[in-house]
A and B are shown apart, each in its own frame.
Chain A
Amino acid sequence: MTKVFKRIYTYNFLLPAAVVYTVIFIVPTVMSFFFSLTRWTLSDWEFIGLQNFRTFFQEPSLSIGFKNTLIYAAATSSAKVAGGLLLGVFLTGKIRTKHYLRSVVFFPTLVSTIAVGIAFSMMMHPTEGLINRTLATFGIEGPDWLGDTGVALLSVAFVDVWKGVGLATVIYIAGILAIPEEYHEALQIDGGNGWNKFWNIVVPLSRPATNAVIILSFIGGLRSFDLIWAMTKGGPGFATDVIASIIYKQYQGGFYGLATAGNVILFLFVTAVVYPLSRYLTRTEVDL
């Protein structure tokens, strides 16, 4: 690059962003590793080694968060992949209500998570709720969706999918529409049916979309907090507590060192899962 252009593309342009990003994001992230090893009151800290991490792994009310976070992320992201793919295929087909259905499926993405959580927790009320009353008319006795420790986490995951499947769908729609027409023509010449088209063309060639949906929803799932907080606050007991909600609880309790240890664990968790996952997914991708 010539000297002139070095001056034209001066790093001064980067300066404001670099300052804000460093001060508000990078410094706290780096400092979290230090403060996770302390007993901390914001104004004062005392070094206690790995004590916070030990507490996190030994205390059942905290360690349950690992399991729940993984279950939640795996359940929501796999449901979003399956749902997004099926809806994506359906909504790129020759149907008349395409535009209406696309809008309807996408709309919940834009509604406030807290609002969605409140509305659904009311509909999931064990006796009065809309869902169980409807089931009752068919003679089915629905479970206590949010009050039963066995199903509560999956109920929240269902609402997460309801809200998020629209984004997965539009990503798939973009991916499927990007598949070159030649592949479909080739299939027609070879006499393949709709099933062949789905398995041999759409699924492999929309892999970039699949990867985007998996990574995006997995990260989102691991970090998710607001929906769980709006619907169950981690309850009943600790049945729906995830790492993010535990961080909030410890923060509220004034255990800043412990909350920060939770953040470090979440950081390690996310990078440990997402980095190899994205490497694997991009390696197995095929070229169009």
Chain B
Amino acid sequence: MSRTARKFAIEAVAVLASVVLFWVPLYFVLLTAMKSAQEASDMNLAWPSQIRLWQNIADVVTFRGYMLLRAFWNSSALTVLSLAAMVVVCSMAAFVMQRRNDRATPWISFFVLAGLIIPPAIVPTIWVLNEIHLFKTMAGLVLVEVALGFPFCVMLYRGFMAAIPRDIDEAAVVDGYGGYRLFFTIIFPLLKPVTATIIVTQAVFIFNDFTNPLYFFPGAKNVTVQLTLYNFTSQFISQWNLLFTDILLITIPPLVLFLFFNQKIVAGMTTGSVKG
């Protein structure tokens, strides 16, 4: 076989494999979400006799007093609040950590890097949240997300900040700028590309987060979208169609982010992980 023919064959196999490994599961989810409970329990790839997608969506949304809507609201609030706090808090911290160089800086870096590796201690965290009256609250969960996302974000910000020349700081100081004015009016706007990267990557992470809401945000009204999925598994035991409709609905936000910001997400995840 000639070289080009072989190359073409390999590529054809790769595309075929991608269809089997990635499109078939997706198609399966979509198909099941369109079926009736009866047909969904067949678990096959047969085309539904009647497309019930809208009916299923209505059923899932109204289930248990519009629980899914509440979950979407909670998840969106969690994502937006955490991101806002994270961007401000982490960029400020990274500014000092990158610019300063004294005896304390290696220690600070050590503690921050440790956060990338060490698994959070679950029950003691609940205990702390309970002591400060933030257990089972949105504010408490936001703080958890910020604390756990902090090491990753600081690393990205620091890496980017290193490329912003100190001459800018000096010029600003000569012009009589103070630290806050320098940071908020000059440095922070220059960080926009990395801020965007952090927002899209962390938005996906936080929206998809299951473990932290499970531990730190329990309670009937405190659902997030990932928790609905988990709660519905026991209640929709014979209604796979509704469970898969739920999967479909909560996959839409990350899918949209992926379609628009694919490059940014990939960039954020690769630089973040290689530097760690």
A-side residues, CB < 8 A to B, are: 1, 4-14, 16-18, 20-21, 23-29, 31-32, 35, 40, 42, 90, 95-97, 100-101, 103-115, 118-120, 122-123, 125, 128-130, 133, 162, 167, 170-171, 173-175, 208-209, 212-213, 215-216, 219, 222-223, 225-226, 230, 244, 247-248, 251, 256, 259-260, 263-264, 266-267, 270-271, 274
Contact = CB atoms under 8 A, between A and B. Distances in A.
Contacts, number: 253
Given A35-B123, A230-B233, 8 more contacts: A20-B150, A27-B124, A112-B208, A112-B247, A123-B43, A129-B43, A130-B44, A212-B274
10 contacts: A8-B173, A9-B100, A13-B92, A24-B128, A105-B18, A122-B32, A171-B274, A216-B273, A226-B211, A267-B118
Interface stretch (B52-60, B65-73, B176-184): B176-184
A162 B23 CA distance: 13
Contacts of A219: 116-117
Interface in B207-250: 208, 210-211, 214-215, 225-226, 229-230, 233, 240, 243-244, 247, 250
B238 to A, nearest CB: 13
Contact of B182 (A8, A23, A174): A8
Contacts of B178: 7-8
Contact of B122 (A12, A95, A96, A247): A247
A16 B18 contact: no
Contacts of A118: 229, 233, 243-244, 247
B89 A104 contact: no
Contacts of B89: 16-17, 20
B251 interface: yes
A6 B101 CA distance: 10
The 5 closest A-B pairs by CB, nearest first: A32-B121, A28-B124, A24-B147, A17-B93, A13-B92
A123 B21 CA distance: 12
A99 B163 CA distance: 30
B125 interface: yes
Contacts of A174: 270-271, 274
A270 B120 CA distance: 12
B39 interface: no
B265 interface: yes
Contacts of B95: 9, 13
A97 B17 CA distance: 13
A125 B65 CA distance: 31
Contact of B42 (A7, A25, A128, A270): A128
A110 B257 contact: yes
B146 interface: yes
A171 B270 contact: yes
B148 interface: yes
Contacts of B132: 23
A96 B121 contact: no
Interface in B13-37: 14-15, 18, 21-25, 28-29, 32
B126 interface: yes
Contact of B124 (A5, A119, A230, A260): A260
B146 A256 contact: no
B189 interface: no
B111 interface: yes
A104 B229 contact: no
B119 interface: yes
Contact of B229 (A5, A90, A114, A263): A114
B93 A119 contact: no
A251 B215 CA distance: 9
A125 B99 contact: no
B119 A267 contact: yes
A28 B130 CA distance: 12
B37 to A, nearest CB: 14
A128 B39 CA distance: 12
Contacts of B173: 4-5, 8
A8 B18 contact: no
B93 A263 contact: no
Nearest to A120: B25
A26 B110 CA distance: 12
A113 to B, nearest CB: 6
A24 B43 CA distance: 43
B210 A226 contact: yes
Interface in B81-120: 88-90, 92-93, 95-97, 99-102, 108, 111-112, 115-120
